[in-house]
Every structure is written in C-alpha cells, then in structure tokens.
Amino acid sequence: MVRATTLFAATAALALNAHAESMYSKKSDVVQITGMDYDRVIAKSNYTSIVEFYAPWCGHCKNLKPAYETAAKSLAGIAKVAAVNCDEEMNKPFCGQMGVQGFPTLKIVRPGKKPGKPMVEDYQGPRTAKGIVDAVKDKVPNTVKRVSDKNLDDWLEENKDTAKAILFSEKGIVSATLRALAIDFAGLVSVAQVKKSEKTAVEKYGITAFPSLILIPAGSDTPVKHEGKVDKAAMVQFLSQVAPPNPDCPPPKEKKPKAKKDAKKESKSSSKFSKASASHKSADSSSAAASATDETVEEPVVPTESPDPNIKDEDTPEPVVISAEERKPTIPTITESAELQSMCLNEQSKTCILALLPKDESSDAAKTAAASLASIHRKYDVSGSHLFPFIGVSASNPVAASLLAELNLGSAEQVHLVATNGKRAWYKKYSGSAFGAEEVEQWVDAIRMGEGKKEKLPDSLLVVGEKAEVKEEKVAEQEPVKIEVEEMAEDATQDAEAPGHNEL
C-alpha cells in the first residue's frame, strides 16, 4: 500500500486538496482513486476495472469525459470504472510507475491467477462508451459453469455442499452480468447457466420463462425460484438470502498492523526473495554488472496528450500556478514489500530514489530528507519534466531490513538515501550526513547525469519483473480467452440490440 507521508500538512488539509481539481464529481459513476488506494481498490479486487489516467487540463481527457461516464453507468455492477488525476502531486510517482506518458491513458486491470497480481493492459480501442464497455465486459473473468442435460447431475453432486444458483437462458453465452454475479458470490454460491434447449433440466425445475433464476440451498434438492425482474440488483438481492455478497475490495487497513500480521508478511517476502535469487542466472548478473557503468542522462519525458487533437489552441493547458499552501511537500511512502518490489526492485525497474525512513518518521532527519526530496521532485514536476520516482520506505516494510543489511547502509535508526536501478542492477548511496535540499539535489543531479560510483545491486534484492510474469500468464490463458472472445462478439451484438438487463 502506498501512503503519503505528510510532513507539514495535516492529513485533513491534504485530503481536501486531493480532489480540488478532479475532473469527475463525487456524484459521478466514475470512481476517483489515488495512487494510495489503487492497490487495495483495483489490484486486490476480484473485479475487472478500467482506470483512466488523466490530467484535468488535458483537452482529450475533457472530450472523453461524457463517454467515460456513460460507460461507468453501463458497467455498474459489472466492472469498476475509475480515474486517477495524474496532475495531483501525490499521484505522480504512481502514474509514472504505471508507464503513463500521455493523457488520457486507459488501462484495463483484471484479476490474475495470483491474488493481488492483476493483469494490466492498455485499452487502445475507440474512445466511445460502447467501445469501452465491450472491451471491459470481455475481460470479466468467467466462473459460471455452463451445464447441459448431460452433466447437470454431476454438477449438482460436485456442488452439493454449497448453495447453487442456475440461470436458465435462451442464450448459450454467459453474459458479463452473470459473470459479475458469480464474482459477487465467489466462494458462497456456485453459479451455472442452462440453455433453454436443455429440455430435461428445464423440465426438472419447471422452468417456463427465460431468463429465470433459481437457488438451490446447500444440502437441499428443493429449488427456490426467483420472482420478478431478472436484473443484476434483483439477482444480488435474491442470492443474498444465502450470504451477503463479497465486498468489492479488501477493507482499508488499520494504521498500525498487528505484530502477527507483520511476521507473516516477512516470511512471505523472504521466500519470494530466495526464489527470485535462485532463478537468477549467473550470466545475467555479469552482464548487468557490465552495463552498470554505461548509463548516461535519463531522458526527461514530458507527458503529452495523445494524438488526434480535437481541440483548439485556447484549450491548451496554461501552466498551473500552485500556491505554496496547496503544495505541501510529500513523497509517497511504501509499507508493503510487494509494492516496493513492483515499483523499484525488479529486473525491469528503472532508477528509483529510496529514502529509508527510521521507525520514527517524524524525526528531524526523516522530515528534512523527505521534504528535500519532495521539493526537488516538485521542481521537475512544475517544469513538466519527468524525474525518477522518490519513494519513502517505511521501517515496517520488510524490504527495508534487507536493503539495510545487503547494502551495508548502517543503522535502522537513521535515514538513508539510496538510488537503485533494477534493470541495470546498480545502486548508489548518498554518503552525506546532512539532508538539506541543496546537498541532496547535488547527489540527485549526479545520478541524472550518470555520474558517481555505482555499486552492484545484489540479486537477492530483485524479484523477477512483473512484466515478464504478465506475459507468461497471458500465453497460458490464450486458449480460454479465445473461446470467450467468440462468445462475447455474439454477446456484444445482442447488447447492441437490447441493452441492459435483457442481455441475460
């Protein structure tokens, strides 16, 4: 989880500012998220999401807004539609890490095989409500079993100890709505779909109208028939007699995690570490060591709008004037090892500047270092140029201890600044003892220019790149995806004829 370290500002003041320039109102069906809640609300959700990365001044973003809001309405109860304001100071490192280079950028995020490890892909389709809705529906995972006369008894037997729901439909394809219903009740109700042409099953339950939903309680043969409208909300309510549906994401964490929880995390992350280092090939590390010397300047990347501008010059952004009051210096602080690994410590990651914070994050040195980093980053942000992310690593992050030990940084009671580059496997320490903006900026400049002594980043600190993992999973999933695409094409056509609840 990423959380902002508030140095001078009261959290409440920051929260007020956080949505000051949001493009979407609170009433909008589009959910405003920040880099802080992405992990919990999107990455750890069982639902598929689409996330728009935008800047409020961007003309294409304004043009997209009505279609995006319509899409959000159509996808209600099926998938999450979210937006991140990348102009917001606290979201900038996150937007950078998500590879956002132009506005708007749309990414579809869907649950992966491993919980919390979603598959993320850019949405490149038409920027219309229909284009977005179809693409997102297509990515909603399917756990609904299609049951026929032949395998009905087997399915009933397999699921005899759980509650079961069967949707009888004229259609063979499983709609996104029913797939979403199965996600709502994952682990609570097994969901199947039976086509009208399966005569034996239809007769067995006395079904005469389509679509019809029935519920068979655990350990029972007696179905309960759903009466009334067969839409998402009604179906959720009907199945809720078994148990309330799953929440759409894990609840927010308490500020202070319990000691027990921490220990669990620690052992998890250390096994990950050893697995990662075991999979490293020696050839990799020698080439990484060789390339660790040839880095030059990091090219500043200025986020641009995507092409095809439909807007006139007067719409082009004016430089945003930010009052000192609005720009309280903050850097994001990461408390979880997986988050830090996926941002900065994998084989794909580019340069990051990490501030390892002592337990007492409000100590003078910690405050000064974080404020210096924040003010340096802000300089770049204001000028619109890209600078590698500055990340606070909280002392409770299990990776902090590994970094301290592996890089011989010294005492955990002190602040340590270190630049890392996972791809090229190097790191650079900040050797000064003062953390004023001037001293720290000199060091940051040297890193930008590729100057200064680089040391070899130990393999044990790097996990295998997320991107590689995503690719593998995609390949493995190719077959079922193919089948779904075919079905969905049919689904989409039917949607166009009869939108809304008729898709069942």
Ligand X SMILES: *[C@@H]1O[C@H](CO)[C@@H](O)[C@H](O)[C@H]1NC(C)=O
Name which of 109 and 376 has its Cβ closer to ligand X. Answer: 109
Neighbour-count burial for 85-124, b at 16+ CB within 10 Å, e otherwise: bbbbbbbbbbbbbbebeebbbbbbbbbbeeeebbbbeebe
Mark residues 137-176: x for contact with ligand X by CB under 6 A, - for none: ----------------------------------------
Nearest CA-CA partner of 417 in 379, 368, 375: 368
The stretch among 121-129, 247-255, 280-288, 312-320 that binds ligand X (CB under 6 A) is: 247-255
Cβ burial of 272 (10 Å; 0-12, 13-18, 19+) is middle
Q: How far is the CB of 248 from ligand X (least distance, A)?
A: 7
Name which of 249 and 393 has its Cβ closer to ligand X. Answer: 249
* 246 counts as binding ligand X under rule CB under 6 A: yes
**Residue 231, amino acid:** D
Q: How far is the CB of 114 from ligand X (least distance, A)?
A: 12
CA distance linking residue 20 with residue 326, whole number of Å: 10
In the list 247, 436, 480, 499, the residue contacting ligand X (rule: CB under 6 A) is 247
Name which of 250 and 257 has its Cβ closer to ligand X. Answer: 250
Helices 59-74, 129-138: inter-axial angle, 10-degree rounding? 60
Give 3-state DSSP helix, strand, coil % of the chain, rounded to 5: 40, 15, 45
The stretch among 244-252, 368-376, 392-400, 409-417 that binds ligand X (CB under 6 A) is: 244-252
Name which of 46 and 74 has its Cβ closer to ligand X. Answer: 46
Q: Which residue has the tokens 């903050």?
A: 330
Q: How far is the CB of 115 from ligand X (least distance, A)?
A: 7
**Residue 57, amino acid:** W
* 41 counts as binding ligand X under rule CB under 6 A: no
- Helix, strand, or coil here: 324? coil
Q: Using an 8 Å Cβ cutoff, are 356 and 400 in contact? A: yes
In the list 27, 161, 187, 493, the residue contacting ligand X (rule: CB under 6 A) is 187
**CB-CB neighbours of 238 under 10 Å:** 20
Residues 45-84 that bind ligand X (CB under 6 A): 46
Name which of 156 and 186 has its Cβ closer to ligand X. Answer: 186
In the list 67, 76, 186, 395, the residue contacting ligand X (rule: CB under 6 A) is 186
The stretch among 50-58, 246-254, 259-267, 407-415 that binds ligand X (CB under 6 A) is: 246-254
In the list 102, 131, 217, 250, the residue contacting ligand X (rule: CB under 6 A) is 250
Judging by DSSP bridges, how do beta strands 102-103 and 145-147 pair with one another?
A: unpaired
The stretch among 28-36, 242-250, 266-274, 401-409 that binds ligand X (CB under 6 A) is: 242-250
Residue number, nearest CB to ligand X: 246
CA distance linking residue 155 with residue 217, whole number of Å: 14
* 244 counts as binding ligand X under rule CB under 6 A: no
Nearest CA-CA partner of 435 in 499, 387, 371, 380: 371
Name which of 239 and 407 has its Cβ closer to ligand X. Answer: 239
Most distant pair of Cα atoms in the chain: their distance: 80
Q: Using an 8 Å Cβ cutoff, are 177 and 225 in contact? A: no
Name which of 243 and 405 has its Cβ closer to ligand X. Answer: 243
Q: Which residues contact ligand X (rule: CB under 6 A)?
A: 46, 186-187, 246-247, 249-250
